[in-house]
């Protein structure tokens, strides 16, 4: 199928593994770059569930503009450009921008993860991308002509010129590329979120209120409908097993959380009590550094290659930047290997810096009693600096801009 070189004669075909954020955006970006692709998603259609919400930073909005897809996030999300921090005692610690502001005034948005997945996937399909469901990748190998053959759990196979592993933090593609590749690293906080109704809280529209509580971290924002969208990060030093999390009932989560926040001067306990429906908890993981991102005609992007703890607010946006930068590289460089090398040069330093930032932020949420006192003393100074645009790390995170029309050298 392929000699590994992108010729002008026939369109290259990519097998994209995973129909999450990176997979759908990859398919749309490759289409713009003049390549065909098929997305193979392990789960049945609509299996995303209600689940968690995420903050979609302005750099992700900017990246989606390169493929005219930013309107999808604006349609699903609500603007959350500010964060205000307080301690469990009710002391105001400071305020910082939640992401940057694009030249046209676009700011970070908050939306349900399932809505983001659905919107991106539906748009890819609307643009003519084929998505196949129930296709869990088992194995892949290079074919004699330099292309790639993939084998799925249902016994079917597919062939293409290259394979893009966008199969998330537990990526099978990562292990196919390098059987010794690292696995996800446990970050010592849990993630629990929900949507409260009928509770009145003091929060300005567009502001996430973040509380470094005495025993756990809590964040909330008011949706335009009046719902209060919240998340909690109880510290948990030892990784819980999946069965334990799955067996924890909504009542048990509610009891644990209301107890953790009972002595904080915040509305956390009341918000949790006012949350109807199911409450679900996740363990938190990241993936700091994967030595080999590509091998032959296969490459990993998004969480499969570098996952950040949710506290950086950058996981989805990095996956999107990856997908678009990879498409640019494949468009402009005549050889797939050269394209992969150029892609890694563009991406590795940035994403690893953001993963490290996410780990630091998560660890500060799991601070012990002494570290907590120090943190609450130091934080106002850090927040003041960040608010004054003096935080270069944050600025670098949000100011990333992809010039789609610029040729990759």
Ligand X SMILES: Cc1cc2nc3c(=O)[nH]c(=O)nc-3n(C[C@H](O)[C@H](O)[C@H](O)COP(=O)(O)OP(=O)(O)OC[C@H]3O[C@@H](n4cnc5c(N)ncnc54)[C@H](O)[C@@H]3O)c2cc1C
Residue with tokens 């946006």: 317
For the bound state, the minimum distance from the C-beta of residue 115 to ligand X, rounded and expressed in Å, comes to: 12
What's the distance, Cα to Cα, between the start and end of the chain in Å? 26
In the complex with ligand X, which residue's Cβ is closer, 6 or 73? 73
Distance (Å, whole) CA 114 – CA 268? 24
**CB nearer to ligand X: pick between 297 and 313:** 313
> What token pair was written down for 325?
């930068």
Closest CB 369 distance from ligand X, rounded Å: 26
Nearer to ligand X, 140 or 269 (CB): 140
Residue 6 or 394: the one with the smaller Cβ distance to ligand X is: 394
Q: How far is the CB of 9 from ligand X (least distance, A)?
A: 30
Alpha carbon distance 42, 134 (integer Å): 5
Three-state SS string over 30-57 comes to HHHCCCEEEEECCCCCCCCCCCCEEEEC
Q: Which is nearer to ligand X, 86 or 314 (CB)?
A: 314
> Looking at beta carbons only, is 141 or 335 nearer to ligand X?
141
54 — phi, psi (to 5°)?
A: -140, 155
CA dist 11 and 128 (Å) reads 15
Q: Which is nearer to ligand X, 169 or 339 (CB)?
A: 169
Least distance in angstroms from the C-beta of 230 to ligand X = 12
Q: Considering beta carbons, is residue 4 or 240 the nearer one to ligand X?
A: 240
- Report how far apart, in Å, the C-alpha atoms of 299 and of each of 140, 208, 288 are: 12, 36, 17
H or E stretch including 259? Answer: helix 250-260
| Least distance from ligand X to the Cβ atom of residue 317, Å | 5
The CA-based dihedral angle spanning residues 333, 335, 340, 344, taken in that order and rounded to the nearest 10 degrees: -50
Residue 56 tokens read as 């979609």
CB of 242 to ligand X, least distance (A): 14
In angstroms, give the least distance from the CB of 24 to ligand X.
8
Residues that bind ligand X (CB under 6 A): 17-23, 40-43, 52, 54-55, 113, 135-137, 166-168, 172, 191, 282, 302-304, 310, 313-317, 319
- Nearest distance from C-beta of residue 215 to ligand X, angstroms: 20
Question: What DSSP letter does each residue of 166-190 carry, written as one string?
Answer: ---TT-HHHHHH-TT----EEEEEE
Give the shortest CB-93-to-ligand X separation in angstroms: 20
E strand segments, 185-322:
185-196, 207-212, 217-222, 228-233, 280-286, 294-295, 298-300
User: Which lies closer to ligand X via its Cβ, residue 51 or residue 380?
Assistant: 51
Give the neighbor-by-neighbor strand order of the sheet with 82-87: 92-97, 82-87, 207-212, 217-222, 228-233, 185-196, 280-286
Instruction: Considering the complex, state which of residue 260 and residue 397 has its C-beta at the smaller distance from ligand X.
Output: 397
Residue 300: CB minimum distance to ligand X, A: 9
> Do residues 383 and 85 touch, judged by C-beta distance below 8 A?
yes
- Tokens encoding 327: 């498409």
């Amino acid at each position: 199928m392929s000699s590994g070189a992108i010729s002008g004669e026939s369109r290259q075909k990519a097998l994209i593994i995973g129909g999450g954020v990176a997979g759908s955006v990859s398919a749309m970006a490759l289409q713009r770059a003049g390549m065909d692709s098929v997305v193979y998603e392990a789960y049945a259609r609509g299996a995303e569930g209600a689940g968690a919400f995420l903050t979609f930073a302005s750099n992700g909005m900017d990246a989606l503009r390169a493929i005219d897809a930013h309107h999808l996030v604006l349609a699903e999300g609500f603007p959350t450009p500010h964060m205000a921090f307080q301690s469990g005692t009710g002391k105001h610690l400071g305020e910082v921008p939640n992401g940057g502001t694009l030249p046209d005034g676009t700011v970070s948005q908050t939306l349900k993860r399932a809505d983001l997945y659905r919107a991106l996937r539906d748009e890819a399909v609307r643009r003519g991308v084929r998505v196949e469901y129930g296709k869990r990748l088992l194995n892949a190998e290079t074919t004699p002509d330099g292309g790639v053959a993939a084998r799925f759990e249902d016994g079917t196979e597919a062939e293409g010129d290259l394979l893009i592993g966008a199969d998330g933090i537990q990526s099978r593609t990562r292990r196919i590329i390098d059987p010794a590749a690292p696995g996800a690293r446990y970050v010592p906080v849990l993630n629990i979120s929900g949507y409260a109704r009928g509770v009145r809280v003091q929060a300005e529209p567009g502001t996430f209120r973040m509380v470094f509580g005495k025993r756990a971290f809590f964040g909330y924002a008011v949706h335009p409908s009046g719902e209060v969208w919240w998340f909690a990060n109880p510290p948990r030093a030892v990784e819980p097993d999946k069965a334990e999390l799955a067996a924890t009932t909504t009542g048990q989560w509610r009891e644990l959380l209301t107890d953790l926040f009972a002595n904080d001067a915040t509305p956390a306990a009341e918000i949790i009590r006012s949350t109807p429906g199911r409450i679900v908890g996740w363990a938190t993981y990241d993936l700091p550094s994967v030595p080999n991102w590509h091998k032959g005609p296969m490459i990993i992007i998004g969480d499969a290659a570098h996952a950040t703890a949710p506290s950086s607010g950058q996981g989805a946006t990095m996956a999107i930047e990856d997908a678009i930068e990879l498409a640019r590289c494949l468009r402009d460089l005549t050889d797939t290997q050269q394209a992969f090398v150029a892609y890694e040069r563009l991406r590795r330093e940035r994403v690893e810096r953001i993963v490290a930032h996410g780990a630091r932020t998560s660890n500060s949420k799991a601070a012990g009693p002494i570290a907590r006192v120090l943190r609450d003393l130091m934080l106002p100074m850090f927040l003041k600096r960040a608010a004054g645009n003096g935080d270069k790390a944050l600025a670098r995170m949000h100011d990333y801009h992809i010039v789609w029309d610029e040729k990759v050298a």
